[in-house]
Amino acid sequence: MSEGDNDTCLELALEGEKLCKSGKCRDGVAFFEAALQSGTDDFRTLSAIYSQLGNAYFYLGDYVRAMQYHKHDLTLARTMGDRLGEAKASGNLGNTLKVIGKFEEAVICCRRHLEICREHKDRVGEGRALYNLGNVYHAKGKHMGRLGHQDPGEFPEEVKSLFEKAVEYYEENMVLMVEIQDRAAQGRACGNLGNVHYLLGDFARAIHYHQERLKIAREFEDRSAERRAHSNLGNANIFLGEFEKAAEHYKQTLLLAQELGDRAVEAQACYSLGNTYTLLKEYPTAIEYHLRHLKIAQELFDKVICSIY
């Protein structure tokens, strides 16, 4: 392989990376695939291309291709004896396997990611692996729980044990993120801990974590995370019978959805407010919000919004 081939491959790969970072993943993929076509004898460049192709296909929702490229990257990392490269590829593969519902395989990959990061004292990687393991158990619990349509706190023991396992990993992740002072990651852990405690029926604890999530989201001026925190706080307060508090959180959800231009979430917030004011026996207000919900749903031509709530 000539040096020129290596240079061409690298140039194409760097252009692909730039396009993916700017959100143009489909265009980025074309450059990465052209880089592979041009060929290289530099395994590290090849590993980076496989990894980024896997991530790009994941972002585009093509999980089968994402999995293929992450497997190529894992094989290459092992060939090079690159343990941290193996850890990263294992983590990426674990995330992809989780999304397609292969939870047991996902756990194996995420544990390998964790084990190697601990072996190399890679604290950031360890935190990511703990978070990913929490996500796998959380997703598996939700997948199994959906089959029975239970309310929060009323899942079978088998499902609850998965949620409890998710809590353990999220808590370990949180401890580590506090130690390395990564506030953004603490926020994400709080959001997930709030969601899992809600599913376990521990609504007071869910509120504690979602309030912390809200605080951190405001620190970062992350309006989307702030909106989700208010929505989650509304849901948890409903189960505690705190309908006035729930209404205030849903109103904030509505305002933020409007600010973000998210009409579907705006419709959901109106529906939640309609239900909350029904529980408060303030029927004219409830009707007003349900009519707003219906109007947005009709504007969006979204029959799902009209029928599922």
Averaged pLDDT score across all residues of the chain: 93
Same domain, 1 and 94: yes
Establish if 27 belongs to a structural domain. yes
Which residue pairs, CB below 8 angstroms and at least 24 apart, start in 286-293?
Answer: 293/267, 293/268
Answer with the one of 64, 98, 132 that is the final residue of a domain. Answer: 98
Do 259 and 199 share a domain, yes or no?
no
Q: Is residue 58 part of a domain?
A: yes
Shared-domain flag, residues 217 and 256: no
Are residues 151 and 201 located together in one domain of the fold?
Answer: yes
pLDDT at 148 (0 to 100)? 65
175 and 261 inside one domain: no
Do 24 and 89 lie in one domain? The reply is yes
Same domain, 75 and 155: no
Exposed, middle or buried: residue 28 (CB in 10 Å: 0-12, 13-18, 19+)? Answer: buried
Of 149 and 81, the structure prediction assigns the larger pLDDT to: 81
pLDDT bin (cut points 50, 70, 90) of residue 146 is confident
Which pLDDT tens digit goes with each residue over 159-188? 999 999 999 999 999 999 999 999 999 999
109 within a domain of the structure (yes/no): no
Residue 21 belongs to a domain: yes
248 and 211 co-located in one domain:
no
Domain at 21, CATH number: 1.25.40.10
The answer on 259 and 190 residing in a single domain is no
Q: Could you tell me which residue, 248 or 28, shows the higher pLDDT?
A: 248
Q: Could you tell me if residue 199 is inside a domain? A: yes
150 and 91: one domain? no
- Whether 270 is in a domain gets the answer yes
Domain boundary among 169, 186, 221: 221
Do 195 and 256 reside in the same domain of the chain?
A: no
User: Do 81 and 153 have their domain in common?
Assistant: no
Give the pLDDT confidence score for residue 3 in this predicted structure. Answer: 47
Query: Domain span at residue 300?
Result: 243-309
Q: How confident is the model at residue 199 (pLDDT cuts 50, 70, 90)?
A: very high
Q: How many domains does the chain have?
A: 3
Which residue bears the tokens 């530099």? 42
Residue 146 belongs to a domain: yes
For residue 305, what pLDDT band results from cuts at 50, 70 and 90?
Answer: very low
Task: Assess if residue 251 is contained within a domain.
Answer: yes
Burial degree of 169 (CB within 10 A; 0-12, 13-18, 19+): buried
Count how many residues are written for the chain.
Answer: 309
Using one digit for the tens of pLDDT, what is the confidence trace for 16-56? 999 999 989 899 999 998 998 888 888 988 998 999 999 99
Could you tell me if residue 81 is left (phi over 0), alpha (psi between -120 and 50 degrees) or otherwise beta? left
